[in-house]
C-alpha cells in the first residue's frame, strides 16, 4: 500500500482547517472566520483501500506579537520536515501579498515537493482566477498549482490525487477507525473554543483558551457530563464572555452542546465556567498549563 504524510501550510484564515476536513471527509479541525484559530498541529487521516494519507493542519504563519504567536509559527515550521508532500494554501479571494511571499521564500528551502493550492475560488469569477493563479505561479517553483474550494469541494479530488502520487510505499500509520490524533478531551475543548470564538467574533477570540476537566457518564442513561473552563486574559473580558445575565455564555453553551452531542453520540450536560488567567498568552507557565 501507499502511505505517507502531507502538511498543509499557509497564512492565517486561508482555509487550511476547512481543507483538512474536506480531505479526510470529516470534521476533525475547528473552523472560524477569525484568523489564528488553529493553535495545535492537528492530524487528520484519509483512509482508502491501499492508501493512507496523514495530513497535518497547522497554525497560520503570521507576524507574532505574543509568546503564543511565536510558538504557533514554530509548530507550523516544524511540520515541514519529515513529510512526503506539502500543500501551500493561498486565499485566492484576497490579496496575495507579503505574507504569502514570506511563506513562499520559506518553502523554497524545503526539499519536499510543494503543491500550491489557490483556495476559495467559489467566491471569485473565472476572470479573477487566472491572474491569481499566475501570481501564485510567480511566487515559487511549485510542483503543481491547483484552484480549489475547500467549502464547495471543487477540485479537492484533483488535489487528493496529486498528493496521492507523492505518497511512497509504506505501512499504515493509524488504525482504520482513527481519523485524528487528538484525544477526546482535546476535541471537546476545541468544539467549545470554536463556539466561543464564533459568538465573540471581534471582541476576545484570541484571549480564549478552553480546558476540559471532566467527561463522564451521568446518572441517567445516555447522558455525558462535560465540565470545562473557559479562560480569558483580563478581568474585563470575563463580563463580556458571560454577557448580560449570562446570555453570551449560554449561547456558547447551547451551540457547543449541540455539536458535542453528535461527537459523543448521546445527550450532553455541559458545565461551562469562565476563569481568569492573567495575560496567559505571554506567560510560559500558563501556556503550558493551558496545553500550549
Ligand X SMILES: Nc1nc2c(ncn2[C@@H]2O[C@H](COP(=O)(O)OP(=O)(O)OP(=O)(O)O)[C@@H](O)[C@H]2O)c(=O)[nH]1
Q: How far is the CB of 60 from Mg ion (least distance, A)?
A: 7
Tell me the CA distances in angstroms from 129 to 75, 124, 155, 175, 274, one per residue in order: 31, 7, 14, 39, 44
Q: How far is the CB of 12 from Mg ion (least distance, A)?
A: 8
**Which of 42, 46, 96, 150 touches ligand X by CB under 6 A?**
150
13 binds, options Mg ion, ligand X, none, Cβ within 5 to 8 A by partner type: ligand X
Cα 16 from Cα 102, distance rounded (Å): 17
Binding mask 10-39 for Mg ion (x = CB under 5 A): ------xx-------------------xx-
Q: Is 155 in the site for Mg ion (CB under 5 A)?
A: no
132 binds, options ligand X, Mg ion, none, Cβ within 5 to 8 A by partner type: none
Binding mask 43-72 for ligand X (x = CB under 6 A): ----------------xx------------
123 binds, options Mg ion, ligand X, none, Cβ within 5 to 8 A by partner type: ligand X
3 or 36, CB closer to ligand X?
Answer: 36
Q: How far is the CB of 201 from ligand X (least distance, A)?
A: 11
273: alpha, beta or left, given left = phi > 0 and alpha = psi -120 to 50? beta
Cα 194 from Cα 31, distance rounded (Å): 7
CB neighbour list of residue 288: distance below 8 Å, 6 or more residues apart = none
**Which of 52, 56, 119, 237 touches ligand X by CB under 6 A?**
119
Cα 107 from Cα 73, distance rounded (Å): 14
Helix, strand, or coil (residue 258): helix
Q: Is 122 in the site for ligand X (CB under 6 A)?
A: yes
Instruction: Mark the segment that binds ligand X (CB under 6 A) among 145-153, 159-167, 207-215, 230-238.
Output: 145-153
Residues recorded for the chain: 292
Angle formed by the axes of helices 156-165 and 16-24, nearest 10°: 80
CB neighbour list of residue 229: distance below 8 Å, 6 or more residues apart = 210, 211, 213, 272, 273, 274, 275
Cell of 264: 459523543
> By the criterion CB under 6 A, which residues form the site for ligand X?
10, 12-18, 31-33, 35-38, 59-60, 119-120, 122-123, 149-151
Amino acid at each position: 500500500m501507499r502511505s505517507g504524510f502531507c502538511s498543509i501550510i499557509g497564512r492565517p484564515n486561508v482555509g487550511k482547517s476547512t481543507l483538512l476536513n474536506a480531505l479526510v471527509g470529516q470534521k476533525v479541525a475547528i473552523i472560524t472566520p477569525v484568523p489564528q484559530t488553529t493553535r495545535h498541529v492537528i492530524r487528520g487521516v484519509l483512509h482508502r483501500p491501499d492508501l493512507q494519507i496523514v495530513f497535518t493542519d497547522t497554525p497560520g504563519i503570521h507576524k507574532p506579537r505574543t509568546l503564543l504567536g511565536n510558538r504557533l509559527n514554530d509548530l507550523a515550521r516544524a511540520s515541514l520536515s519529515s513529510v512526503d508532500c506539502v500543500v501551500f494554501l493561498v486565499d485566492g479571494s484576497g490579496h496575495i501579498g507579503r505574507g504569502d511571499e514570506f511563506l513562499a521564500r520559506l518553502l523554497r528551502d524545503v526539499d519536499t515537493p510543494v503543491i500550491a493550492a489557490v483556495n476559495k475560488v467559489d467566491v471569485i469569477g473565472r476572470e479573477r482566477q487566472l491572474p491569481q493563479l499566475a501570481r501564485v505561479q510567480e511566487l515559487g517553483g511549485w510542483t503543481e498549482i491547483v484552484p480549489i474550494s475547500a467549502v464547495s469541494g471543487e477540485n479537492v479530488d484533483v488535489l487528493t490525487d496529486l498528493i496521492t502520487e507523492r505518497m511512497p510505499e509504506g505501512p499504515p500509520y493509524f488504525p482504520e477507525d482513527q481519523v485524528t490524533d487528538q484525544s477526546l478531551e482535546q476535541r471537546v475543548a476545541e468544539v467549545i473554543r470554536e463556539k466561543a470564538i464564533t459568538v465573540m467574533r471581534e471582541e476576545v477570540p484570541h484571549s480564549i483558551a478552553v480546558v476540559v476537566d471532566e467527561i463522564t457518564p451521568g446518572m441517567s442513561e445516555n447522558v455525558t457530563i462535560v465540565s470545562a473552563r473557559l479562560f480569558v486574559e483580563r478581568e474585563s473580558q470575563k463580563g463580556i464572555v458571560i454577557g448580560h445575565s449570562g446570555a453570551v455564555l449560554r449561547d456558547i453553551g447551547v451551540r457547543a452542546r449541540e455539536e458535542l452531542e453528535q461527537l459523543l453520540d448521546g445527550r450532553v450536560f455541559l458545565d461551562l465556567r469562565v476563569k481568569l488567567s492573567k495575560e496567559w498568552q505571554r506567560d510560559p507557565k500558563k501556556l503550558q498549563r493551558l496545553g500550549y
